[in-house]
A and B are shown apart, each in its own frame.
Chain A
Amino acid sequence: MYNDPEVSAELHRVADAEPLPPFDTTALLTRAHRGRRRRKLAGAGGLLATVAAVALAATVIPGISSANQNPGPAGTSTPDFTPVPGLERGEAALFQNLSKSEVSRLCALRYPGQTKPLEKPTDARTGARLRFQAKVGEASPHRACSVPGGDRPSAKLIAEAKADPMPASDAGLLRNCAVETWVDVTGWRVVASEISKAQKKVTVVATSPSGKSAVACELELPPRTNPLGDSEGRFLRLASLVKDDAPILVPPKGSKWAELYISSSGGGCKKNTDTDCKKQYSGWGRTVADAAKVRISSSGKTYEKPVTDGWWAITWQVAGSQKLDFKIEALDKSGRKLKTISAQ
């Protein structure tokens, strides 16, 4: 008999609603063996002898260095993704330079129904967005190619994402982002998200386990309210994976990280005087380290969202006849304004 059957049932429901990916027992056992080996080494002699032995072991036993001790997120070895020839898997693909011909090949692979070539093929990296050739008014299944990563999602995963376009769980958000980008971000950490039924849009910002990359997926759901909209996933390289690869977002001196503000707008208004339509706006980014929330003020109304490690995401909309008038501010815990991120 439960202490409180009703609340117990609710807690079980909440816990069961979060899907559990497979648990990587093999990785755990490998790590445990290494730990046990180190313990034996440590116990074999005095402090100096131990230090020497570990130092020696680190040079001769593969995988004993500290860089390899983390187990990684559970369930990374799933059949949900298959490799894309010529690309690295996961986060490593983001740091790979791709030639024009490689980019064209990958876009053709990613968008098999698209018969138009790229407007201006160029060297790029995973997540770059290149337009397909199209005449004004011409129907096209996709406006642009988001250069895919090295993890092709399985048909099952694609079907799951399609069936659940507005997931309530982080796992669902990451799955849909991975399906869009072809980068297995399912082990990443969601730091901001916004789900707007009105805009038929899901925005999710997540950071990689290494902390060196971030992704912002803006997923447009059919039927799109923004006729120019396409889903996309932008990747940010926050630091180098390897020593000689320059970091992309260098924090200014004295700042913890580089600040960002990315916005987009759309809507079905033909004229600014239309009253029966909505203008839609969305924004995401990274603000100052002390920020606890962001506040959007528009047309005399306000709306707040929390901030995680500076990351935030927000959407809002106004009547078509309303003049664009908004302010996005970063606030600290007590509600004190730290800065204006954007205003019009």
Chain B
Amino acid sequence: MSERDQAFVEFVETANPSLRRTAYLISGDRHKADDIVQDALYKLYLSWPRIQRVGNPFAYARRMVVNAAYDGGRRPWRREVAIAELPDRPGSADFAAGHAARDEVLEALRTLGARQRACVVLRYYEDLSVEQTAEILGCSQGTVKSQAARGLETLRKAMNLRPSPAR
């Protein structure tokens, strides 16, 4: 294996879990997330010597992944809504109560718009600053602040609605 390949493989082995999880949170689909990361890393390899020279290949890869996931996320999300939230049920009450609970936070995340979701993930999952988030998403810092605040509010509501584990 060439030196270039060796360095690239080491980078991929280290970075892929984090990139895939970020892509999953933004795109909402594990398979889509894996495809996005594969594509991003493929492009990264083609420019690998230059990126290594500049330094911080992870930031470069993350930017590509986030933008690909964010663009894909502009289309509507595909997953079902939580059944338990629907008040009307045919038949008896156990119709809804009998369904397995979905993850409220995940469902709430899925209801956010693409940009809001990307802001929330970068700010609160990746722990980036407002400036860094704005730079990656190519928008103003004001937009990041407002989108992240709205997204945060939605997530907090979902977290508060969650039944206590003691029940």
Contact = CB atoms under 8 A, between A and B. Distances in A.
Chain A partners chain B: yes
A181 interface: no
Interface stretch (A78-86, A115-123, A299-307): A299-307
A28 interface: yes
B91 A195 contact: no
Interface string A185-220: 001110111111111000000000100000000000
Contacts of A274: none
A16 to B, nearest CB: 7
A240 B126 CA distance: 43
A114 interface: no
A35 B125 CA distance: 33
Given A36-B46, A196-B99, A197-B100, A7 B152 contact: yes
A308 B99 contact: no
B109 interface: yes
Contacts of A296: 90
B31 A326 contact: no
B139 interface: no
B115 interface: no
A23 B90 contact: no
Nearest to A191: B78
Given A35-B46, A74-B38, A191-B78, A301 B20 contact: no
- Interface size class on chain B is 35 or more
Contacts of A309: 78
Given A2-B127, A23-B20, A198-B99, A318 B90 contact: yes
B12 interface: yes
B95 A317 contact: yes
Interface stretch (A129-137, A165-173, A228-236): A165-173
B123 A71 contact: no
A221 to B, nearest CB: 11
Nearest to A36: B46
A100 interface: no
Contacts of A35: 42, 45-46
Interface in A7-44: 7-8, 10-18, 20, 23, 25, 28-29, 31-32, 35-36, 39
A197 B83 contact: no
B88 interface: yes
A13 B38 CA distance: 24
B125 A8 contact: yes
B17 A20 contact: yes
Contact of A168 (B12, B16, B45, B102): B102
A316 interface: yes
A319 interface: yes
Interface string A74-106: 110000000000000000000000000000000
Contacts of B29: 170, 189
B131 interface: no
B86 A304 contact: yes
Interface in B25-63: 25, 29-32, 34-35, 37-39, 41-42, 45-46
Given A10-B159, A304-B86, A29 B123 contact: no
B164 interface: no
Contacts of A20: 17, 20-21
A316 B159 contact: no
A3 interface: yes
Given A11-B25, A28-B12, A73 B34 contact: yes
Given A15-B24, A18-B30, A278 B92 contact: yes
Given A28-B12, A29-B8, A36-B46, A298 B78 contact: no
A28 B41 contact: yes
A14 B90 CA distance: 31
A244 interface: no
A4 interface: yes
B98 A198 contact: yes
Given A3-B127, A4-B152, A303-B88, A73 B35 contact: yes
Contact of A317 (B32, B76, B91, B102): B91
A8 B124 contact: yes
B91 A318 contact: yes
Interface string A28-67: 1101100110010000000000000000000000000000
23 contacts: A2-B127, A3-B127, A4-B152, A7-B120, A11-B125, A14-B103, A18-B30, A31-B38, A32-B46, A74-B34, A168-B101, A170-B29, A170-B31, A198-B94, A198-B98, A301-B88, A301-B91, A303-B83, A303-B86, A303-B88, A316-B90, A317-B95, A319-B92
Complex A-B, nearest 7 residue pairs according to Cβ-Cβ distance, in ascending order:
A198-B98, A298-B90, A32-B45, A197-B98, A308-B78, A15-B21, A11-B125
